[in-house]
């Protein structure tokens, strides 16, 4: 998951990676000054869309006051010394930040040794002295603390922080090109110039979008939130003759032109001061492009205002989701060597297998055994043939199809059409879990669509009829027992069931935590079954992982359903094996 934390909104991008490829991605944003609220909403929505639970994220955003410095480090050894990677690392570690700041991006500019100058990397070279120059971006410690606090509230760990312009440079700049970034944030405006050698000029100023909103709010005598909305709706550096306030804001005795009389000088001053600060560097490094981003880039005509100060430079305007998208691209590009290695490894295994198969002139006999692990469709893409191939490769013989009608549980998922599609792709057993009202109708539908086992939910009207319908069609029938229900609820129907499925989570979503109380229920059911000589199987659904699985087996379970644990593991067959382990 990648997040862009801004002062007045959060943007998020999440990816699901399978077999070294992105197989699903989602974008979501919330504009709100309450960053904790915005962050939680974004995470919830992305988790819902991707079907997984995130614990950590890559972070970008405007991290408050920041500045840039070139630093040089010098190490002297008594005798000739072979320079190693760890020497360079310790030089980097020595870069000291001024009080209250710490370095975030450190870019090596040059290594000099007395004998060799400007070498790319001195590692392996023998010398007595190593001098290196770095460019470093430093960020305000207070802001970073605030951000960590916000993330902690949302139970998210930061894997790494990246300044948006650092990312922009890495993703957008071609070799030998110089580009400039201007990021119009809510609390800070940052501008920088990047060459092959990293940033050569970097400037963060505290005058930004929120100051403009404050100004509008004072002059209009309107609350800050109204002023912010008016700014977003109205600000236009090319105001049209007929531009009007939206009906919600028409109560203010101001016109759009009045608002723009505040907006235009504000941006004129801001851009002029950026121009004056960097004029010398523009002349020296001659950037071919200015990339403008951040909330301020949304203002109509801002590029023309910039063009008046930087007439010969091409201006590119980026959307508000640019920073978070760029972060995603940067991380993904960094993963490239690992992806290539993964694909090469798979290829080698396949080639070796093919060679062995050729030696014997026939496919080696694989003794298929049925494993009592049921992957849940909620967490897999059942439209892709690869999913079924993967299941087969791990000896899966039963698929657990989750169906939710939006009434019995809040969500709608699966459905009879999906069940039919799965049936068409899968010759094995289909174990259908109906989290629906009207169990009799759904049971009939599920049987017609190809179910082999139908699991019904308790607390539904017509449950007994539904059991009869399934039995009459010679399919297996079971009941899912919700976490809050006790085993005694099933007393009167136990003899009619082929299966009791114990829910270890509240039905409705994958990725929830396993409820330990169910272990006792499994033992009670197991004892009852023995005592009365009954034949029903006991399965468990929800929160299964390699640890909870062992508890279930020990208590007497016969089969386990697993969604997120299997879906999130890098190696599917291995994950299936790990669920089969009995202590």
Contact of 327 with 95, CB cutoff 8 Å: no
DSSP secondary structure of 329-395? HHHHHHTHHHHHHHHHHHHHHHHHHHHHHHHTTSPPP-----BSEEEBGGGS-TT-HHHHHHHHHTT
Closer residue to ligand DX5, CB minimum distance, 231 or 400: 400
> If you count them, how many residues does the chain have?
583
For 64-99, letters b (16+ CB in 10 Å) and e give: bbbebeebebebeeeeebebeeebbeebbeebeeee
Distances (CA, A) of 200 to 70, 109, 194, 364, 521: 9, 10, 6, 62, 66
Shortest spacing between CB 558 and Zn ion, in angstroms: 16
- Binding ligand DX5 (rule: CB under 6 A), the pick from 12, 375, 445, 507 is 507
3-state secondary structure at position 511: coil
Closer residue to ligand DX5, CB minimum distance, 193 or 579: 579
**Residue 476 interacting with ligand DX5 (CB under 6 A):** no
**Residue 549 interacting with ligand DX5 (CB under 6 A):** no
**Residue 542 interacting with ligand DX5 (CB under 6 A):** yes
Size of the site for ligand DX5 (CB under 6 A): 21
Closer residue to ligand DX5, CB minimum distance, 208 or 510: 510
Closer residue to ligand DX5, CB minimum distance, 40 or 433: 433
Size of the site for Zn ion (CB under 5 A): 3
DSSP secondary structure of 23-70? EEEEEEEE--S-HHHHHHHHHHHHHHHHTS---EEEEEE--SSEEEEE
CA–CA–CA angle 421, 424, 429 (5° rounding): 100
User: Which secondary-structure segment (H or E) carries 127?
Assistant: strand 126-140
- Interaction residues for ligand DX5, span 380-409 (CB under 6 A): 400, 402
**Residue 178 interacting with ligand DX5 (CB under 6 A):** no
By a kind-dependent CB cut-off of 5 to 8 A, residue 322 interacts, out of Zn ion, ligand DX5, none, with none
Burial of 378 (0-12, 13-18, 19+ CB in 10 A): buried
> What is the spatial distance between Cα 444 and Cα 197, in angstroms, rounded to a whole number?
68
Which of these ranges, 121-129, 262-270, 433-441, 492-500, lies near Zn ion under the rule CB under 5 A?
433-441
- Binding ligand DX5 (rule: CB under 6 A), the pick from 563, 572, 575, 576 is 563
> What is the spatial distance between Cα 418 and Cα 139, in angstroms, rounded to a whole number?
50
**Residue 402 interacting with Zn ion (CB under 5 A):** yes
Which of these ranges, 183-191, 216-224, 306-314, 502-510, lies near ligand DX5 under the rule CB under 6 A?
502-510
**Residue 541 interacting with Zn ion (CB under 5 A):** yes
- Binding ligand DX5 (rule: CB under 6 A), the pick from 60, 376, 387, 539 is 376
Which of these ranges, 21-29, 355-363, 508-516, 522-530, lies near ligand DX5 under the rule CB under 6 A?
508-516
Closer residue to ligand DX5, CB minimum distance, 478 or 543: 543
Shortest spacing between CB 168 and ligand DX5, in angstroms: 37
**Residue 433 interacting with ligand DX5 (CB under 6 A):** yes
Shortest spacing between CB 544 and ligand DX5, in angstroms: 5
- Binding ligand DX5 (rule: CB under 6 A), the pick from 195, 453, 564, 578 is 564
Measure the CA dihedral 542/547/551/557, to 10°. Answer: 50
Shortest spacing between CB 456 and ligand DX5, in angstroms: 13
> What is the spatial distance between Cα 528 and Cα 486, in angstroms, rounded to a whole number?
13
- Binding ligand DX5 (rule: CB under 6 A), the pick from 1, 543, 551, 575 is 543
By a kind-dependent CB cut-off of 5 to 8 A, residue 302 interacts, out of ligand DX5, Zn ion, none, with none
**Residue 16 interacting with Zn ion (CB under 5 A):** no
**Residue 512 interacting with ligand DX5 (CB under 6 A):** yes
Contacts with Zn ion, residue ranges (CB under 5 A)? 402, 433, 541
Contacts with ligand DX5, residue ranges (CB under 6 A)? 376, 378, 400, 402, 433, 505, 507-512, 541-544, 561-565
């Amino acid at each position: 998951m990648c997040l862009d934390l801004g002062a007045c909104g959060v943007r998020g991008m999440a990816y699901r990676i399978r077999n070294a490829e992105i197989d699903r991605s989602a974008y979501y944003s919330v504009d709100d000054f309450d960053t904790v609220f915005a962050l939680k909403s974004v995470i919830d929505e992305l988790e819902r869309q991707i079907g997984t639970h995130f614990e950590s994220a890559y972070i970008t955003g405007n991290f408050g006051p920041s500045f840039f410095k070139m630093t040089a480090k010098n190490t002297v050894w008594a005798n000739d010394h072979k320079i190693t990677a760890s020497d360079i690392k310790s030089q980097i570690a020595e870069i000291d930040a001024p009080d209250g700041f710490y370095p975030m991006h450190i870019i090596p500019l040059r290594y000099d040794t007395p004998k060799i100058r400007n070498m790319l990397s001195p590692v392996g070279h023998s010398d007595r002295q190593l001098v290196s120059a770095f460019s470093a971006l430093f960020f305000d410690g207070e802001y970073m603390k605030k951000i960590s606090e916000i993330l902690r509230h949302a139970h998210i760990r930061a894997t790494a922080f990246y300044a948006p312009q650092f990312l922009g440079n890495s993703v957008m700049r071609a070799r030998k090109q110089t580009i400039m970034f201007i990021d119009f944030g809510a609390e800070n405006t940052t501008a920088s110039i990047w060459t092959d050698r990293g940033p050569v000029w970097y400037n963060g100023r505290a005058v930004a979008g929120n100051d403009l909103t404050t100004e509008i709010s004072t002059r209009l005598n309107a609350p800050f939130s109204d002023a912010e909305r008016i700014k977003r709706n109205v600000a236009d550096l090319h105001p049209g003759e007929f531009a009007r306030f939206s009906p919600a804001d028409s109560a203010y005795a101001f016109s759009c032109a009045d608002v723009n009389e505040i907006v235009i000088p504000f941006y004129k001053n801001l851009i002029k001061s950026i121009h004056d600060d960097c004029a010398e560097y523009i002349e020296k490094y001659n950037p071919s492009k200015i990339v403008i981003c951040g909330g301020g880039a949304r203002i109509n005509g801002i590029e023309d205002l910039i063009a008046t100060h930087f007439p010969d430079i091409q201006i590119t305007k980026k959307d508000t989701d640019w920073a978070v998208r760029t972060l995603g691209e940067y991380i993904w590009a960094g993963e490239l060597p690992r992806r290539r290695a993964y694909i090469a490894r798979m290829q080698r295994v396949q080639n070796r297998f093919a060679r062995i198969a050729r030696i014997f002139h026939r496919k080696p006999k694989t003794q298929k055994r049925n494993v009592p692990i049921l992957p849940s469709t909620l967490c897999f893409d059942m439209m892709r043939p690869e999913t079924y191939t993967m299941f087969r490769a791990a000896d899966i013989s039963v698929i657990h199809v989750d169906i939710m009608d939006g009434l019995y549980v809040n969500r709608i998922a699966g459905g009879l059409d999906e069940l039919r599609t799965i049936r068409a792709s899968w010759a094995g057993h289909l174990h259908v879990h109906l989290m629906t009202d009207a169990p009799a109708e759904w049971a009939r539908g599920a049987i017609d669509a190809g179910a082999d086992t139908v699991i019904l939910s308790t607390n539904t009207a017509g449950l007994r009829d539904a059991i009869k319908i399934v039995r009459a069609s010679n399919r297996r029938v079971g009941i899912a027992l919700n976490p809050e229900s006790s085993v005694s609820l099933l007393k009167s129907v136990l003899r009619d069931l082929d299966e009791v499925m114990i829910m270890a989570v509240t039905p409705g979503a994958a990725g929830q935590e396993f409820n330990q109380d169910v272990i006792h229920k499994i033992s009670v059911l197991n004892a009852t079954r023995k005592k009365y000589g009954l034949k029903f199987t006991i399965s468990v659904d929800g929160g299964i992982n390699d640890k909870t699985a062992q508890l279930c087996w020990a208590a007497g379970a016969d089969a386990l359903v697993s969604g997120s644990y299997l879906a999130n593991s890098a190696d599917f067959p291995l994950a299936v094996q790990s669920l089969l382990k009995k202590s």
